Amino acid sequence: MADQNQKQSVDKLKPKLFSVMKDYTAAQFAKDVVAGVIVAIIALPLSIALALASGVGPEQGLYTAIVAGFIVALLGGSRVQIAGPTAAFATIVAGIVATEGMDGLIISTIMAGIIMIIMGFCRFGKLLKYIPGTITTGFTFGIAVTIVVGQIKDFLGLTFRNSPIETVDKLKEVFFCIDTFNWQAALVGVISLAVLILWPKKLEKIPASLIAVLVGAALVKLTGMHVNTIGDLYTISSAPPHFTLPVVTFEKVRAMVPNAFTIAILAAVESLLSCVVSDGMIGSKHRSNMELIAQGAANIGSALFGGIPATGAIARTAANVKNGGRTPVAGMVHSIVVLIILVVLMPYASLIPMPTIAAILFMVAYNMCGWRNIRNTIKTAPKSDIMVMFVTLTFTVVFDLVVAIGVGLVLAALLFMKRMADVTEAHTWVDVDDEDTDPDAIILKKIPPRTRVYEINGPMFFAAIDKYKYILHDWDIDILCIRMRNVPAIDATGVEALNRIVQRCEKHGVQVIFSHVNEQPMHAMEKAGFIEKVGAENFCPHIDTALERAAVLEEEFAAKRATA
């Protein structure tokens, strides 16, 4: 048994590449190559745009996609993860570069990589679920706001008199310098934004960002508009990534510790979120601790070869899956293709207008902001969850991500403890040691043959969500009865888990019946629209009435099958 446990532990720290290559085929290689090439084309303008938003040169975004993308594919715990620069880091990196220079950024990123590797070896991958979804939603929207504010200058062609670093100061500078508005730059920006919005509706296979870059560059070049391009503001280099060592001092290292932890936590959270999303798309399961180790190694490699912090990119990973990528080979191909593009085509990047870059980043901010999550949280979540979300959002914009996450976590923990204390005081708990002594024990009930009963015990909240995620795998049934007599409370994440269960049941033609839903969960479910979705008649006050309802529905299902 000890040997078996040790083997399982080793397997969890084994890169996915080594596992999938056992059954690798030529047909899958062809699909991976196609997916890798398409993702590289998507990554090209995004990497350049995100590098510029981060206050570094355009080629450094490509260095990140090349080095970090390859290392994560080689060592990562996911089959399809695509790594590179992401919008989440833009404001953080820009702040570090502005105050500490490139050496400060390199040191911070290397330290962050070391922290993530330690997190992986210490099996911290599962602990990240204790960051509530409301905090993630809050700081993600806050980052999107900072990106938008940071790009108003280039979109409108403004000339700043000062060089503000903080988001609030940038917004003030926009108002103070609005008299420098350049209508030609704004026109290019609006046209680029229109392309980004409308193009995917017509031809999704060719990335809209690439078309926007081509249209914007042609417009400025052919008409002679007075619009800043990348070449006007930056020196373009087509040299491949090269090894770079920063000047390291103890004082510098000590000063960079907060930045390093910020990068490490954000990279870990975003990467594992990307893994979870891709798992759902391909029906796989990632190795979270191995992914943390790979992300740490990737950030160290990126920093030492001229790049910036990297993490798993959800949009690029999804594009990889949609285009047939199913193994880490696709991620390696993506990195190699980006390298070829860098060496061969990078000089042409000087023609890309800055308003087009701003438009691309506007779309990145829109896609990452998660406004639907904000809307759903406001509609369905308790006031405490909503408060945590907006406090995190505000602190992200006004201060920085470290403060925002710290304040959000403390506030969420305090409010959650208060909520649990309130529920415990308001409800009487019955502790049943022997199920046979419980007159309502499910073992004593007659369950219809095509009905499954699933009983949830305890509060449904963010830290326990894994227990409800895979509630049912056998779809050869007609009725799923969810018994909730021992669920005293539910939060926004729990409501979303139930919503996913109902959606899966609808997809497989299974009717859901809820039994004995307590007051607080019922109120949350009503706000989320469960009554309309499931039907009021399928909310039963007791398990006996729920099973009677299930028997009636089974007869209806049987009659339909007989006449089909």
Alpha helices in 203-328 (DSSP H): 208-223, 230-233, 250-255, 257-282, 288-304, 314-322
- Written in H, E and C, the secondary structure of 89-157 is HHHHHHHHHHHHHHHHHHHHHHHHHHHHHHHHHCCCHHHHHHCCHHHHHHHHHHHHHHHHHHHHHHHHC
pTM above 0.75, yes or no: no
Coil, strand or helix at 449 = coil
Cα separation, 259 vs 449, in Å, equals 58
- Write out the DSSP string of 349-374: GGGSBHHHHHHHHHHHHHHHH-HHHH
457 phi and psi angles, rounded to 5 deg:
-120, 130
Q: Superfamily for 442-563? A: STAS domain (3.30.750.24)
HSE-CB at 403 with a 13 A cutoff on CA atoms is 11
Q: How far is CA 135 from CA 33, 184, 511, 538, 557, in A?
A: 37, 40, 33, 33, 43
Cα separation, 462 vs 221, in Å, equals 52
Residue 528 DSSP symbol: T
Whose CA is closest to 195, among 180, 210, 175? 210
Q: How far is CA 74 from CA 53, 57, 295, 562, in A?
A: 28, 26, 11, 54
Residue spans per domain, the chain: 2-19+26-235+242-380, 442-563
pLDDT tens string for the chain (564 positions)?
A: 444 444 444 447 899 999 988 889 999 999 999 999 999 988 989 999 999 999 999 999 999 999 999 999 999 999 999 999 998 888 889 989 999 999 999 999 999 999 999 999 998 887 776 778 788 888 888 888 988 998 899 999 999 888 787 888 889 999 999 999 999 999 999 999 999 999 887 776 778 888 999 999 999 999 989 999 998 888 888 899 999 888 889 999 999 999 999 899 889 988 988 888 788 888 888 999 999 999 999 999 999 999 999 999 888 998 899 889 999 999 999 999 999 999 998 888 889 999 999 999 898 888 878 788 888 888 888 888 889 999 989 988 888 777 887 888 888 888 876 666 555 433 323 333 444 556 666 666 788 888 888 888 778 776 666 666 556 666 788 898 888 888 888 888 888 888 888 888 888 888 999 999 999 999 999 998 888 889 999 999 998 899 999 999 989 888 888 886
Coil, strand or helix at 404 = helix
Q: What are 44-59's pLDDT values in tens digits?
A: 899 999 999 999 999 9
